[in-house]
Structure 1
């Protein structure tokens, strides 16, 4: 039977990772294996070492340089337990060419017996020089004369409760049992030099003469095969999800002929003209909404590019067709910003049609929430804006057809599924996701391959460039003087303090102290407000309203103002401990100023460590902020610094991140996978499904959200 006509086969759980009998509890080892995601035989086979140890040869101690890892065979000449400066076992050994001390801070009686005077042993560890001679700290110890392995010894990433020898045994066993037959079609344009079984066997147990650089930089042919297969699995699963959505049905959102459209009325009342990019993206979304295939589009644009207007136009198209639209934002401040703008623009137009805009958040009083929920259920609320409260079980829509999710990377898969579940039975809502973090090209080609992407690449006229300055913390007084100068010109100022989860209380105290210090330095005539995540919602809204109205002149805040806040009169942003923030977060914060006509600046106030230095990654972030204000360039550098896992955030919560391929260096393999995946799904569907099952298992389901 040809390979691609064999039935798709689900990998069986490994005996080590499954309970011994139905209903039996898991052992400590089994629980540890499951925490590492090691359940099926193929999971063990694809669990590749993070590094290797060379136990294939024994060397003379006199030939080893300080700092090198070495394996030596020695005789024990002394063995004693000392208590200076702490309890430790010190063993002196001699291999005939030199002597060395072995030191153990944690040891057992069995080790003392193994290292008795006169014993011959084989030890491996890092040889260090020092005043008292050469030492090895906690080396591995085996009996001398045992057979040397023929391959390098793999070292796997592990967790507490799972020792390296036990993990090696389980991986070896799973690798031997795993089904590793060919899943690449014979007709693909590029055939890797090594097959999968040979590649995996080699990467788990490489020959000692292999060039270590090719293992470490993943350029070896075995690594090329693994990375190619992984990228192909990702592309297949993304395209499969796209194809499955294409088979679903969504409401066709076309307006009735002969009626003035809500979108036209909206454009007439807006106090500005749309940019060319906004018109183009609006047309792309309009074409999607007029089809019965569910839209699944990501709207990306730099801070201030006008995504909210595009969302309002999409909502207007939906409402024109007699349906409801939901807009969900991750925080109440961001949701209220949308609510304020959209109420101003749309509510008067909707009222004339007997419709309204509804507002749903977790902090609402029960009476108000019940009133809003009733308006949603009756259909009177044509546009529903809110936080996670929009997807609560109690909220029922009459005719939901469009879901808009802002800052989509801050919502998990389950939350997006819950919003989709609010639509009519048998229909999928159209989905528009918005992000102010531009997506680098390679990410768009890989992690977002299941989405159509629209880009607002043009800023509205009137936005002023923001000058970015790096200032060391010891020049804080100069920053306060700059604030005073801005206030004298009638401008307003943000001062952002970092908020780190591990020390939240400490950081809130710091923010409060900063507010008090600024109030003292600036004088009683200056209103200095404080905004942080622990404040009651009503108090947060009150502070924000006071700042927006100009009655507060300086706003000291944690990062709750990161997105969505729009105060055109604010012309200076000070970010304290800027070295603690991520690059995209710094860029988002900087985007809160420069929203009016006044010249604006962002001061990155950084603190060096005790040695007077800033960490390498932090220095790269600060340098990027000073060198460019282009959101796409910022995103590209952020991806370089953080890698895709952190960059993507919750969008891929639970979904398969690349473990082996590197989007910066493996674009040729990504191009190959993108070209092969659609042909494979069309011509070899069973092979494609086996390939997805092998690499992703149940995690592929997350990509369908």
Structure 2
């Protein structure tokens, strides 16, 4: 590693600004997350304009950007067909009209008759010949030299002109030292330029630079920046991971007293993937530092039994374990399943939710606080203040991406005795490998990549909503054959009230269209006991059809339901469609998922439906989802604690991820000061809630 100078101090910074930047300008820059000169250095151009050459007016091509230089022949404000500023510019080859529909008096002064100006913008054919509309205008002296490099165009915000931003970036580049923090051998191995050279190539590319590779972000200078950004993300997450391992947690050794008893009485054997996951988690729980593991598996891969065995391992050691789920329906499903498995072992499971009656809730709280019950399942109610866990050893969060960083922190803070509980996060939304390696680098990851035997394949059908009557007939046939069906109402994100109204109308329409069949309705506004009663009736076979909103997206397990209809499927995300489809195919009968869609389809909607139609493997769907949407939404609520990538693309730059990961480990071990400087350069101390 090279020796570096210490990072520049942030002295002289005034509230709301820094030297040379007043509070008003600082407020505009803050909208771009630019809060100090170092941030401006890494504010990289979106594209470039070539102002290094002049095009004669007669040679300017229609539709192409051009820079012309000439003398103002006339300039006036016209009122027809609308108020606008119109100027005529002449050079030796011809004349061009320039028009501004929105303009300031200062622009009119710039275009005084006889003045020499340069205009830059796209040329197009107009009523009076070739013209430019809203070109950039720059008064010049005759013979004034042209720029010696391409002109960068930066991401900006309303009220902050490109010219002002270019000056600020230029000043930052002149004052912030471009220190090199990466080892020479790595730069050579990856074919990456030095940091100073990369900055120069991106902010001031020479006229002969490959503009296409710069704008496509494939230029070596861009590769350098993307590698450094990935490296910083790895450093921050691995540092958080290492910090957790210095904390103390209860060592929960597996005795087999309860875990073996559960395995012996289960009506099925664990799959190889489940057995491997149980072994990895058991090893983590036995360590004296807190486990921080993500258990991910496709819909129906059997995460609940893995969680049950982990909870029993805590109970074997006299410690408490809790499982938190994002919805009441999912939490109750978990509670019922765990109670059915664990009651025969004499293990009691408490059930906590915000909707339980006060008397029942108080009784459960008292049992938990007194340590009389070791296992609990619930919703957000588990992290509310009155809930006390005197011996919390393990906290499990299901569908972890639905919870924010602070909520997971609140659950962890329930630990007592100066110990941190072990944490197990579960997700039925498979995470692509590149995403797991980057955004989840602070976690150990276990994958359930094997489905239990006996699950029937699901056939997916795409049907236009013009054939809705045929779909209703299909539901009638399935129920007549002794099966049950789900009918999922369309997603209406902008209005919960409208979504509720649609669900009620769909329920009424289907009830009328399916005489003799019992139709139920479940939605988010129902009281918990009503929801629970409807779900129980459907599970018991007392209802033929369940009309639902997305509250049934996860956790619902009714093996006799073999038909799923999703209305306006084009409105749903891929992960949601895959989760909803996973509610069928849980028994031995052939299952069908009908995706009803409305025309015309957007390009994104068509892409999503094509993916869900062609793939049943959740990991393949997740990879496509990442490609279509990018990582921002995929990471979910977790992103509030993880630095999102501005420049690197996990699909296109996947080859940089492994070396970034390896170098992060090496730097944290051998060059922690260099790691600190790199993180300061990119994050400026804003590491977020990485400890969650």
Q: Normalised by the shorter chain, which TM-score bucket?
A: over 0.9
**1:99-144 deviations in Å (ceiling 9; x for gaps):** 4443333222333343355544322222223555433332222214
Partner of 1:533: 524
Partner of 2:250: 251
Distance 1:361 1:169 in 2: 57
Partner of 1:151: 149
CA contact (8 A) 2:18 2:36 kept: no
Distance 1:405 1:251, change over 3 A: same
CA contact (8 A) 2:12 2:18 kept: no
The answer to whether 1:236 aligns with 2:235 is: yes
The alpha-carbon deviation at position 404 of structure 1 amounts to 0.5
CA contact (8 A) 1:531 1:556 kept: yes
Distance 1:209 1:393, change over 3 A: same
Normalising by structure 1, report the TM-score.
Answer: 0.91
1:297 pairs with one of 293, 296, 299: 293
Normalising by structure 2, report the TM-score.
Answer: 0.93
Distance 1:41 1:83 in 2: 45
Distance 1:14 1:625 in 2: 56
The alpha-carbon deviation at position 48 of structure 1 amounts to 0.8
The alpha-carbon deviation at position 413 of structure 1 amounts to 1.6
**1:349-370 deviations in Å (ceiling 9; x for gaps):** 345xxxx322222333443333
Distance 1:206 1:274, change over 3 A: same
Partner of 2:366: 374
Distance 1:127 1:231 in 2: 40
2:565 pairs with one of 559, 571, 574: 574
The alpha-carbon deviation at position 308 of structure 1 amounts to 0.7
2:355 pairs with one of 353, 360, 363: 363
1:306 pairs with one of 277, 302, 316: 302
Distance 1:13 1:500 in 2: 50
1:436 pairs with one of 394, 411, 428: 428
The answer to whether 1:584 aligns with 2:575 is: yes
Distance 1:20 1:246, change over 3 A: closer
- Between 1:11-20 and 1:122-131, the stretch displaced more is 11-20
Distance 2:169 2:612 in 1: 44
For the residue of structure 2 that corresponds to 1:653, the secondary structure is: helix
Partner of 2:672: 685
Distance 1:147 1:518, change over 3 A: farther
The alpha-carbon deviation at position 382 of structure 1 amounts to 1.1
CA contact (8 A) 2:48 2:215 kept: no
Distance 1:697 1:112, change over 3 A: closer
CA RMSD of aligned residues (A): 2.6
Distance 1:687 1:398 in 2: 42
The alpha-carbon deviation at position 475 of structure 1 amounts to 2.0
The alpha-carbon deviation at position 7 of structure 1 amounts to 8.0
Partner of 2:206: 207
Distance 2:287 2:324 in 1: 23
5+ residue gaps, structure 2, are none
Superposed counterparts of 1:9-24, under 5 Å = 9=7, 12=10, 15=13, 18-19=16-17
CA contact (8 A) 1:492 1:553 kept: yes
Distance 2:236 2:221 in 1: 23
Distance 1:201 1:468, change over 3 A: same
5+ residue gaps, structure 1, are none
For the residue of structure 1 that corresponds to 2:69, the secondary structure is: strand
Partner of 1:389: 381
- Between 1:90-99 and 1:552-561, the stretch displaced more is 90-99
1:593 pairs with one of 563, 574, 584: 584
CA contact (8 A) 2:253 2:313 kept: yes
Distance 1:401 1:324 in 2: 5
Distance 1:210 1:245, change over 3 A: same
For the residue of structure 1 that corresponds to 2:267, the secondary structure is: coil
The answer to whether 1:560 aligns with 2:551 is: yes
Distance 1:312 1:51, change over 3 A: same
**1:70-113 deviations in Å (ceiling 9; x for gaps):** 22224445545455565444444444534444333322233334
Partner of 2:137: 141
Partner of 2:630: 643
Distance 1:492 1:255 in 2: 42
The alpha-carbon deviation at position 208 of structure 1 amounts to 2.4
2:482 pairs with one of 487, 490, 494: 490
Superposed counterparts of 1:541-560, under 5 Å = 541-560=532-551
Distance 1:639 1:370, change over 3 A: same
Distance 1:74 1:184, change over 3 A: same
For the residue of structure 2 that corresponds to 1:700, the secondary structure is: coil
The alpha-carbon deviation at position 631 of structure 1 amounts to 1.2
The alpha-carbon deviation at position 185 of structure 1 amounts to 3.0
Partner of 2:411: 419
For the residue of structure 1 that corresponds to 2:177, the secondary structure is: coil
The answer to whether 1:604 aligns with 2:604 is: no
The alpha-carbon deviation at position 608 of structure 1 amounts to 2.4
1:67 pairs with one of 63, 67, 84: 63
2:610 pairs with one of 619, 623, 627: 623
Superposed counterparts of 1:469-488, under 5 Å = 469-488=461-480
May I ask how many residue pairs the two structures share in their alignment? 688
For the residue of structure 2 that corresponds to 1:501, the secondary structure is: coil
Distance 1:543 1:73, change over 3 A: farther
2:646 pairs with one of 642, 659, 673: 659
Distance 2:153 2:358 in 1: 57
Partner of 1:335: 331
